[in-house]
Amino acid sequence: MATHQPSNRELWEAVFDASTLRDADFQTMSGIPLEPVYGPDDGEFPGQFPYTRGPYASMYRSRLWTMRMFAGFGTADDTNWRFKEIIKAGGTGLSTAFDMPTLLGIDSDDAMALGEVGRCGVAIDTIADMEDLYSGIDLGEITTSMTINSPAAVIFAMFVAQAERAGTPRAHLGGTLQNDILKEYQAQKEFVFPPRQSMRLVRDTIDFTAAEMPRWHSISISGYHIREAGSTAVEELAFTLANGFAYVELAMQAGLPVDTFAPRLSFFFNAHIDFFEEIAKYRAARRIWARWMKERYGAAHERSMQLRFHCQTAGVSLTAQQPEVNIVRTAIEALAGVLGGAQSLHTNSMDEAMALPTEKAARIALRTQQVIANETNVTHVADPLGGSYFLEALTDEMEAQAEHLFGYLHQLGDGSMLEGAIKGIEENWFQGKIADSAYDLERQLNAGRRITVGVNAYTEGNDEAQIDLLKITTEDESRQRKRLDQVRHDRDQHAVDSALERIRTEAADSSVNLMPALIDAVKVYATLGEIMGTMESEFGRHVEVPVI
Amino acid sequence: MSERILIAKVGLDGHDRGIKVVARILRDAGFEVIYTGLFQTPQTVAAAAVDEDVDAIGLSMLSGAHMTLAPLVVEAVRKLGSEIPVILGGIVPDHDLDQLTAAGIAAVLTPGATAVEIATEVRAVLDRANT
């Protein structure tokens, strides 16, 4: 007797039926009831390998994306206040922006920090600042993301130590450390140590979180900055996933079984203005990741194969001219992210081509997400564009072009994607490709082959007065320096010296995981700059040979 | 001989998309372009400009530190006894313009400037410096 082979639809239905759904009416405004997903019985369904249509069977019917607004400026107190405003306004996650000195691992009183303290983000020198930053916020309840890379391990140590002091055990902490150092050399350029030494710190954080922090995402593998630096969407897709493969190989080389850490890898993509290409990019990304994780790296758990991503609307698509128009751009980009199945979203504010956002501009950006989530009904049906001839063809084409680029890196690394990524950086391959693409786009704009409203067309209104912008005063810089002076004065210097000595010793031995030593050092108020300087004395410093 | 422009990133700001695009725009417009790379100080930029005997310096700043750092570059160049003009490009709000001019910045180029506008502005600065 032939046994019944369940169709993909039946398999999907079983999972969907077991899911908890949001309390909402899943119908159109005319009252037409909507299916959770549409497609042929034997087609691919969301939550099914290779997850082109989404990582989960019920997608936004169970849970909307996290509205995670990136914020940080001035001192930790200033940013703490903004965080609380975001939570009050209905934000459902926090995302911390650090200032340039913090991103480069130097203290606010370093000569190189002049003029930069608190300007692009919040200044963090010691655990005392970290305590102020999250004061009064329940870190066991709300998830936190931290955009930090070169000094990620140190900032993470401060985060874990302050949360534990405030009463939340590390195992209960949920959130994401960006910790994606490869794209720093390729695109964002906030690097400190050479690539191989930096990768050791990444390994240590993956290893530490896999063992002790089950709710934490150890890396947010980021295409966002690659795209902002000028790459095409295909390059963003390919470079980001190639970096992801490199981290997987790094952790596997360190002896971690793939399914112990892969479920905690997350992604971060750009949501740019080319609407369909962006949606195809997210779909292709999920499919490629699933296939490589299963077939090449032998992942067995579903969660290791399911690509989950945060996305942010494109900063580079914003214009200084007629800034209110940026609200429209951001709304279209955010919609692409949602139709592409994002798990988390940040929407840029209209004034960000010129400055950090004002509170009003940031609120409008959050409201943009809330309009999409609550008014448009686009959340009712998973992968609503799946099955479109156009979108499916575009998804396939982007996958094919990405695979072509993987082929190059695979060869460059002699069969290792990890080596390929590092060599690609050392040989300026990524950097050159990104710069070429940025220049191509500039030429298209200059030749009038691409139109940007308010820039090379429709410029009436450009001479109107600028909207109000946020001003960061130099008072923040001097306040922060005074605070740092005070901390240095009050701490036990002997304890700091021996904590730094331990870091030096352990940095020299690559078999040791540095996280425990880092946590102990931040607890006795060693500064970010002191810890990074100590590691630099062992690791050395990366110097980029610039290509133009 | 074509005129030489030193383009530089001062401070901690790693955003280098703009400066690389501007480098190629200036090269296409017939200038000789030298790029310092990232993380320079006002002093290293001034020294490089004088050593290379350039005709102008172009700074790219997107982190908001321009009000502190751009005037320091002018100061460092003048301290070396040079009158090389300093041009600033990047994210600069309108309300900062007067103060930058007063500090000796020869021209400011903001987002949206086209290739032609950039080349024209640099040319105008060089012409003013030569008269």
| Burial of A375: CB neighbours in 10 Å, binned 0-12, 13-18, 19+ | exposed
Longest dimension (CA), chain B: 38
**CA A123 – CA A538 distance, rounded (Å):** 25
- Answer yes or no: do A354 and B93 touch at CB < 8 A: yes
- The C-alpha of B83 sits at a distance from chain A's nearest C-alpha, in angstroms, of 24
User: Domains along chain B?
Assistant: 4-129 (3.40.50.280)
Angle, vertex CA A178, rays to CA A175 and CA A181, nearest 5: 155
> What ipTM goes with this model?
0.94
Residue A435 in contact with partner chain B when CB distance is under 8 A:
yes
Query: What is the rounded CA–CA span in Å between residue A154 and residue A149?
Result: 10
In this predicted structure, what is the pLDDT of residue B63? 84
What per-residue confidence (pLDDT) applies to A436? 97
Rounded to a whole number of angstroms, the distance from the CA of A466 to the nearest CA of chain B is 8
For residue A411, is it within any domain? yes
Place A100 in a pLDDT band, splitting at 50, 70 and 90: very high
Answer whether residue A545 is part of any domain.
no
A439/B41 touch (CB, cutoff 8 Å), yes or no = no
**pLDDT value of position A515:** 98
Given CB atoms, is A544 within the 8 Å cutoff of chain B? Answer: yes
Residue A51 lies in a domain: no
Nearest CA in chain A to B116: A446
The whole domain housing A309 covers 61-440
What does the alpha-carbon distance between residue A416 and residue A455 come to, in Å, rounded to a whole number? 44
Burial of A445 (0-12, 13-18, 19+ CB in 10 A): middle
Residues 6+ apart with CB under 8 A from A388: none
Mean pLDDT value of segment A271-287: 98
Instruction: List the single range of A385-394, A519-528, B85-94 with lowest mean pLDDT.
Output: B85-94
Contacting residues of B for A459, CB less than 8 Å apart: none
- A106 contacts on B by Cβ (under 8 Å): 12
State the sign of the Cα–Cα–Cα–Cα dihedral A512, A518, A524, A529. positive
The pLDDT value recorded for residue B1 is 67
Residue B74 has pLDDT above 60, yes or no: yes
Range with lowest mean pLDDT among A256-265, A339-348, A454-463: A454-463
Question: A45 in a domain, yes or no?
Answer: no
pLDDT at A509 over 90: yes
Cα distances (Å, whole numbers) of residue A52 to A8, A49, A233, A340: 14, 8, 17, 10
| Residue of chain A whose Cα is closest to the Cα of B114 | A446
A35: tokens are 């299916």
| Summary mean pLDDT of chain B | 94
In this prediction, residue A79 carries a pLDDT of: 95
pLDDT at A58: 98
Instruction: Give the C-alpha separation, A257 to A456, whole Å.
Output: 53
Q: Three-state DSSP class for A123?
A: coil
Residues of B (54-113) whose Cβ lies below 8 Å from A: 63-65, 67-69, 91, 93-95, 110-112
Which of the four pLDDT bands, split at 50, 70 and 90, describes residue A92? confident
Q: How far is B63 from chain A (nearest CA, A)?
A: 6
Confidence at residue A465, expressed as pLDDT on a 0 to 100 scale: 76
Give the model's confidence band at A467: pLDDT under 50 very low, under 70 low, under 90 confident, else very high.
confident
pLDDT of residue A471: 81
* Residue B111: predicted pLDDT: 87
| A222: enclosing H helix or E strand | strand A219-222
B32 to chain A, any CB pair closer than 8 A? The answer is: no
Mean pLDDT of B86-103: 94
**Interface touch A112/B39, C-beta < 8 Å:** yes
- For chain A, the maximum distance between any two Cα atoms, rounded to a whole number of angstroms, is 82
**Of the partner residues B63, B67, B115, the one whose CB lies closest to the CB of residue A100:** B63
| Continuous segment of H or E residues that includes residue A68 | strand A66-71
Give the closest of B25, B65, B116 to A116, CB-based: B65
- A107 at interface of B, judged by CB pairs closer than 8 A: no
Confidence of residue A464 (pLDDT cuts 50, 70, 90): confident
Contacts of A428 (CB under 8 A, 6+ apart): A545, A547
Verify whether the Cβ–Cβ distance B16 to A445 is below 8 Å.
no
Nearest-Cα distance to chain B for A448, in Å, is: 11
B38: chain A residues, CB-CB within 8 Å: 189, 544, 546
Give residue A115's pLDDT band: very low, low, confident or very high (50, 70, 90): confident
Q: A449, A450, A452, A548: which to substitute to probe chain B, counting the most B Cβ within 10 Å?
A: A548
Q: DSSP states of B48-61 as a string?
A: HHHHTT-SEEEEEE
Does A1 have pLDDT greater than 70?
Answer: no
pLDDT tens for each residue of A212-249: 999 999 999 999 999 999 999 999 999 999 999 999 99
Most B CBs within 10 Å: which of A231, A356, A430, A442, as the mutation test of the B interface?
A442
> For position A385, what pLDDT does the model report?
98
Interface residue A321 vs chain B (CB under 8 A): yes
Taking CB atoms and an 8 Å limit, are B38 and A189 in contact across chains? yes
Smallest Cβ distance to B64: which of A190, A320, A472?
Answer: A472
Asked if pLDDT for residue A84 goes beyond 60, the answer is: yes
- Residue of B4, B9, B20 best to disrupt the A interface, most CBs of A under 10 A: B20
The pLDDT-based confidence of A355 (bands split at 50, 70, 90) is confident
Do the chains contact at A354 and B115, CB–CB below 8 Å? no
C-alpha distance from A436 to closest chain B C-alpha (Å): 9
A416 touches chain B (CB under 8 A): no
Q: What does the angle CA A136 – CA A140 – CA A144 come to, to the nearest 5 degrees?
A: 80
Q: How far is A50 from chain B (nearest CA, A)?
A: 35
Give B63's contacts in chain A (Cβ within 8 Å): 100, 116, 119-120
Q: Give how many domains chain A has, as a whole number.
A: 1
Say which of B33, B94, B114 has its CB closest to residue A548: B33
- CA separation for the pair A291, A298 (Å, rounded): 10
* Dist. CA A197–CA A203, nearest whole Å: 10
Q: What is the DSSP letter of A489?
A: H
Residue B2 has pLDDT above 80, yes or no: yes
Angle (CA) A122 A128 A133, round 5°: 40
What is the overall mean pLDDT for chain A? 96
- The number of beta carbons lying within 10 Å of the beta carbon of residue A16 is 22
Counting one residue from chain A and one from chain B, the pairs whose CB atoms sit within 8 A come to 111
Find the CATH number of the domain harbouring A293.
3.20.20.240
> Which of A337, A544, A296 minimizes the C-alpha distance to A428?
A544
Contacts of A438 in chain B (CB under 8 A): 17, 20-21
Q: Is A181 on the interface with B (CB under 8 A)?
A: no
Arithmetic mean of pLDDT, A127-144: 94
Whether A422 is covered by a domain: the verdict is yes
Question: How far apart are alpha carbons B59 and B66 in whole angstroms?
Answer: 9
Q: Which amino acid is at B57?
A: I
Say if A136 is an interface residue toward chain B (CB within 8 Å): no
Rounded-to-integer distance, Cα A263 and Cα A546, Å:
36
Residues A90 and A67 sit within 8 Å (Cβ to Cβ): yes
Substitution target from A102, A108, A188, A189 for chain B, most B beta carbons within 10 A: A189
Q: Does B120 touch chain A (CB under 8 A)?
A: no
Indicate yes or no: CB of B69 within 8 angstroms of CB of A321.
Answer: no
- Residue range A501-525: average pLDDT? 98
